[in-house]
Structures are given as C-alpha cells and as structure tokens.
Structure 1
C-alpha cells in the first residue's frame, strides 16, 4: 500500500504527548503510524495506524521500520517521542537503572534514527524530530539520570544534523517544559532508596508533580512538533510553549550564579 500523503512515524504514541502529536499530524495531512510496546499486530484508530515496537530492541526497531516502508513506500518524518523519567538522588539509583533510562531515552533514539536514515538519504528528504526537554539544557536535582539522557539527546541531535543536512535530512529538537500528562507518575523510582535523602526526595517529587500539573497541555508540544515537521525553513530547536521559551531565555541571559540560585530556590534546596 502506498500513499500520496507524507508519512510520519511517531514512537510512544499510545498516550500523552505522543498520542496528541499523532492526531495533530493526521490533521496536518500526514499518513501517521504510531508505535507502542502494548500494540499487538497492526491496528488503526482515529486515523492512526498502530504497530508494536520496543525501542530498546534492535530487532523490533528494524522490523517496525521495514513494515512501515513496505506498507507506505517511505518515511518522511520520524518523531522520537518514546521515553521514561527517573526520580531520586543519583546515589539512590543503581547504574543498571540509569542504563535502562539511557537505553530508552538515548539509545532508543539512536536505534530509530539509524533505521530510517538510509531511506531518508535515498529519497533526498527527511526529518528526524527528537523530543527533548528543558532538562536537556538545565539541571534538575533528583532527576540526574533523566536530565543526563536529555542532555545526551541534545548533543547527539545537533551533531548528527550537521552530518546529514547535505543529503536533505534534518535532525531537529523539540523542548517541552512541564507538560500535563501522566509521564511523572510513570517515572522510574530509585532502586536503592536511602533514608538520608528521603525528605529531599519527597519535596523534589512534589515539585516535579506540581510543575507538570501546572504545565502546558500536550497540544502545545504537538503544535511545536507539527511546526518542526512542516516548516519550510526548519529550526534546529523548537521551544514548546511560553514556559519553555522563558526558561531557555533565562538560561542564556542570567548570570550563572543567579541561575544556580534560582534552581535551588525552585527545588526548595538550602544554600
């Protein structure tokens, strides 16, 4: 089966930002394939075709991308949205647990990107849109592994964009701030909890939940992703919404000491 519409593949499309993005891309005129670890076989709902996919598996990624190309003839846009959060002090998280976060948030992005690049280069066009975070350019205490993974996605994306741009392919970043989804509730809890950090961890978790509860609608992020997919002159980074733009501006313009103090104040840390 082929289509005259541009084809977009969205990972982690069963809920939250991914689901909203998939629907927004349908509205924008794309043939949209969404992926989920929970999907069984090939199903279609609300104009989105769903495939099962585990971004931590080389075989699963290869099979899913081959399925999409076989069905539709090409992939024009890849949205790397699948991700997992983390919580707790770094000392409370084992290396194995941090590796799990990186396997989804970083190596999952790399697996998916490597799988689509040959076809995008061959057709002379493609956009890889990586859903980063404001935590890709600011710190967040008690979420060190997650922040590190998003910093890694930022560096990977910007570097790769230089490698593939001459072949008509762009690698772009969308940077949400707090978003009102269930993402925080699904964050990986520390597997080595320590009483020493218990109270600080509790406060940090409250701050994170409040930040997301008061955050942007997933529609705000989806709008930025659609812009990245369709702009005639794409930008490397898209701040998703006014909160993300405000924080990005503060990071660039505030003196380092003032920004550091603001991070501690926001997270109710002493000193």
Structure 2
C-alpha cells in the first residue's frame, strides 16, 4: 500500500505519487514530467507523438479518440498501480477568427483542448476517487481574457474551466480540481498562428516556462487545493480585471488590436482581412 505523501515547506512530498500527464512530449509536458520525476514521483505520460529522450515513459495516444483515450489511461493506471494526480496539459492553438464559420481548425482545438481533457479525466475518475487525488487543468489566461483572431483557443480553454467547475462540484468530496492560467510562453503552439500572419506579438507578454511549471507543482502539491492559479503577478492582475472589470480589459485589447491592424502588422493575412478593413476604412 502506498504511503501517504509527507507535507513540508508548504508542499506535499512528491515521492511515490502516481502521476499521469497529457501532452507529455510537448514544451510544458516535458518540463512538468521532468520536475515531478526529479521530486520522486512516478510519472507516465500520454502524447500523440512521443519523442526520443522524453524524461518519462510516454504512451502514444490520440486523446480525440474515445476508445484509445480510455485504453491508454487504463494502461497508465495499471503501470502506476493507481493514480494520485492527473495533469491535463495537452493543448493546441491556431488561427481562428470569430467572424468566420467554424471549420476543421476550430473543431481540432475544441476536440483536443476540451474534449480530450474530458475523455482522459472521465477515464481517470475511479482511480482518483479511490486515492482522493487531484486534477490540474492547464488552462490559459485566454480563458478569462480573450484575444482576437484566436477564438477557438479561448473558447476551448474557457470551456475547460467550466468543465473543471462541474468536476469540482461532483468530485469535490474526494478529488481536488485546480485550474492553472499561463499567459504566453514561447513554444511551437504559436507557429501556425504566426504562419497565418496573425501573430499577436504586440498584444501579449511572454513569461518563462519555469514559472508555469512551478505553478503546476503548487497546484499539485500545495497543502490546500486552490481553485484558480495564475502563473505570474501580472497574470493575477489580468485575471482579476478580466473577472471583475471585463470592460476595462476589452478596451485595452481593442486599442492594441486597432494599433496593430493600422500599422500593417496583418498585411497579407487573409484571415485578418475583415479586421484590417474595419479598422482602416475611411468615410
């Protein structure tokens, strides 16, 4: 029988914790897995495309497939001998203006970012309830403060938070649920947006990966379960404003978008043609 983690220095001892991390071969996932393993946790990852040199065992899994997701979770739980912590980290981004019809890109982001987490979580619930474990949802600042031209990502992350809220109500007697809200971190998740000419470089400040990982660990190992955790002080301010003074953040973002549209930042970007035209029209 697994010994209960020891609490010290404000965090539980991670030694012996049985952990499942999705998106384990990506930028966030590899770093999270490495840190938890370094602290003595037993970690198994899931990823669509495991990479050589992953710091933990990563099972190949398409979390958009109901049966494969459930089977991969069952395999992971069997290899770990149970489950104490699930980190729903898998996520993708991409260009998706809200004014255009939802196509394959929108469906892809919703299926991975929201439904993928839902599938993996549902398959993990029995083991987490048995261990009185925790779930950490890696959401996004955009769950509270939407940026333009990326409607699918924001919608999927806001919906992920709503799903976490429902889980908390249903499982809260036995399982802790925390949402973590990173801002922008330099990673390949931004590549497709940049390739479409929709980079929002001037509208978002990048933060270090290390702070995101530290916040995930705080959510996973903290003495008490936290409901929501931004990853930086600036993020905490943005989160507060977006929740309590949304009209203020709307005005700030709208001004930044107008400046970028008028400066030619979206020149040649077909998906931004409507935004550019509305901000540069005369008469």
- One fold, TM greater than 0.5? yes
Tell whether 2:141 aligns with 1:134.
yes
Contact map agreement 2:63 2:120 (CA 8 A) in 1: yes
Tell whether 2:228 aligns with 1:222.
no
Equivalent in 169, 174, 179 of residue 173 of structure 1: 179
2:160 is matched with 153
1:21 is matched with 32
What do residues 213-241 of structure 1 show as CA deviations (whole Å, max 9, x unaligned)? x5112111111111111012111111112
**Cα separation, partners in 2 of 1:29 and 1:10, compared to 1, 3 Å:** same
Question: Which runs of 4 or more aligned residues in structure 1 lie more than 6 Å from their structure 2 counterparts after TM superposition?
Answer: none
What do residues 145-185 of structure 1 show as CA deviations (whole Å, max 9, x unaligned)? 1111111011110121111011x211210100111222111
Take 1:51 and 1:21, find their aligned partners in 2: how far apart are those partners? Answer: 16
Bigger Rg over Cα: 2
**Cα separation, partners in 2 of 1:45 and 1:176, compared to 1, 3 Å:** closer
1:10 is matched with 21
**Cα separation, partners in 2 of 1:27 and 1:145, compared to 1, 3 Å:** same
Secondary structure in 2 matching 1:183 = helix
- Note the C-alpha offset of 1:250: 2.5
- Note the C-alpha offset of 1:10: 0.7
Count of paired positions: 249
Take 1:28 and 1:160, find their aligned partners in 2: how far apart are those partners? Answer: 28
Structure 1, unpaired ranges of 5+: 191-201
Equivalent in 109, 115, 122 of residue 107 of structure 1: 115
- Note the C-alpha offset of 1:89: 1.9
Equivalent in 6, 9, 31 of residue 42 of structure 2: 31
Equivalent in 248, 254, 262 of residue 258 of structure 1: 248
Tell whether 2:228 aligns with 1:237.
yes
1:81 is matched with 89
Tell whether 2:72 aligns with 1:64.
yes
Contact map agreement 1:8 1:75 (CA 8 A) in 2: yes
Q: Aligned-residue CA RMSD in angstroms?
A: 2.5
Contact map agreement 2:20 2:45 (CA 8 A) in 1: yes
**Cα separation, partners in 2 of 1:17 and 1:186, compared to 1, 3 Å:** farther
Contact map agreement 2:22 2:45 (CA 8 A) in 1: yes
Q: Give the TM-score taking structure 2 as reference length.
A: 0.80
1:120 is matched with 128
Secondary structure in 2 matching 1:248 = helix
**Cα separation, partners in 2 of 1:102 and 1:62, compared to 1, 3 Å:** same
Point out which structure has higher relative CO (alpha carbons under 8 A, 6+ apart): 1
Take 1:128 and 1:142, find their aligned partners in 2: how far apart are those partners? Answer: 30
1:182 is matched with 188
